[in-house]
Structure 1
Amino acid sequence: MEKQITFTHTPIVIPPPVLPSREIGACVEFQGLVRELEQGAALAGLHYEAHESMARKHLERIFDQLCAAHPCAAVVFIHRLGWVPVGEASLFVRVLSSHRGEALRFLADAIDRMKADVPIWKCAKGVAAKRRKRRKKGSRGMGTLFVPFAPFCGYSLFQLPGRSAGALTLRKSDRSSSGSGSTIMRSRSTARWMRRCIE
């Protein structure tokens, strides 16, 4: 199966379908749009962050596993990072297969697995918080919500940084009651991004 995985900081440009063979009978596409409400709060948009190399590895594994269950010829995956305003696409997925049933099942399962297993996070900036910040520069708005897509494959983010905090840490849990585990990544750039989100 052909796999194209792309992360971009610019608006998603949907590529034209390229058929790998004449056996292709179904082309199924999905676009994920930033909606106006998140947990009942009005949004201005979402800021996405990802551990790109790890996300790519997880996606390749997921696509290979799904192809064994739902044979498909090709998948195109594009995820936007950075700021995405309401109404714009943050995700595009295209699946090519001989039959529509396999393509539809592959697509649905791929999105579910992405949300559960892939290290991509989003920070929601509320409209009310942006208005307060314009009125009083430097004030700390309460309309910001940091939302990980999900705990993924036993990994977790911890130490939500404040203004004086250091790196944000990505940890693989050992499922013990203490919750301890091995630290696999620290990112000061991610910590700085998180601090911007909660200011």
Structure 2
Amino acid sequence: MANSVSQVLLTEAPLEAPKEAVDPSTSPRTNLAAGAVVDFWGIVRRLEDGHEIEGIDYEAHKAMAEHQMKVIAAAAAETFRLNQVLLHHRIGFVPAGEASLFLRVRAQHRAAAFEASKSIVDELKKKVPIWKKPKFRMATQRHASRSEAATAK
């Protein structure tokens, strides 16, 4: 959509919802056509593969990741006729219980907003060079035994 606004962000800082309200009377005029706003928060779970973790360390090829995030946001805006896409991802250590991903999608109708949100997250996981390494709690620290490593091959 020609009038869509996209913003991507990779940051080590905790994620926050943008200060703008969802209320159209306080939103920028470009958002007045939006009848639906979908916010998605990706939260670091306490368990990873059944083992308790302290959090996840996210690494990224920053320039490439930002470029791919922009491509994904622009493609979704075009495909789903979105008014706005905000796509924010944390890098560095993110403790369990905190957000690693924030996505806001504004669209004229709710179906497009929900479909676009799912599509954007799916594409992000497939195409953006962000890698995660869980930090397991010491009591449940996992190490593959030689037999597990041999079986995994």
Smaller-chain TM-score range?
A: 0.7 to 0.9
Task: State which drifts further: 59-68 or 85-94.
Answer: 59-68
| 2:62 partner amino acid | E
Q: Does 1:88 align with 2:91?
A: no
Q: Provide structure 1 residue ranges, at least 5 long, that are not aligned to the other structure.
A: 133-141, 146-199
**Do structure 1's residue 9 and structure 2's residue 12 form an aligned pair?**
yes
Alignment of 1:1-199 (within 5 A): 1-17=4-20, 18-19=27-28, 20-128=30-138, 143=142
- Contact 1:33–1:90 under 8 Å retained in 2: yes
- Structure 2's unaligned 5+ residue stretches are 21-26, 145-153
Which structure's relative contact order is higher, taking Cα pairs within 8 Å and 6+ residues apart?
Answer: 2
Q: Which amino acid aligns with 2:54?
A: A
TM-score (norm 2): 0.80
Query: Aligned equivalents of 2:114 and 2:143: distance in 1?
Result: 35
- Report the Cα offset of residue 144 of structure 1: 7.2
Residue identity opposite 1:96 in structure 2? R
Count of equivalent residues:
134
Q: Is the 8 A contact 1:124 1:144 kept in 2?
A: no
Rounded to whole Å, the distance in 2 between the matches of 1:16 and 1:144 is: 43
More helix by share: 2
TM-score for the superposition, normalised by structure 1:
0.63
Q: Separation in 2 of the partners of 1:113 and 1:144?
A: 31
Does the CA contact (< 8 Å) of 2:31 and 2:106 recur in 1?
A: no
User: Which stretches of structure 1, 4 residues or more, deviate above 6 A after TM superposition?
Assistant: none
**Inter-partner Cα distance in structure 2 for 1:144 and 1:28:** 40
Asked if the contact 2:77–2:85 (Cα under 8 Å) also holds between the matched residues in 1, the reply is no
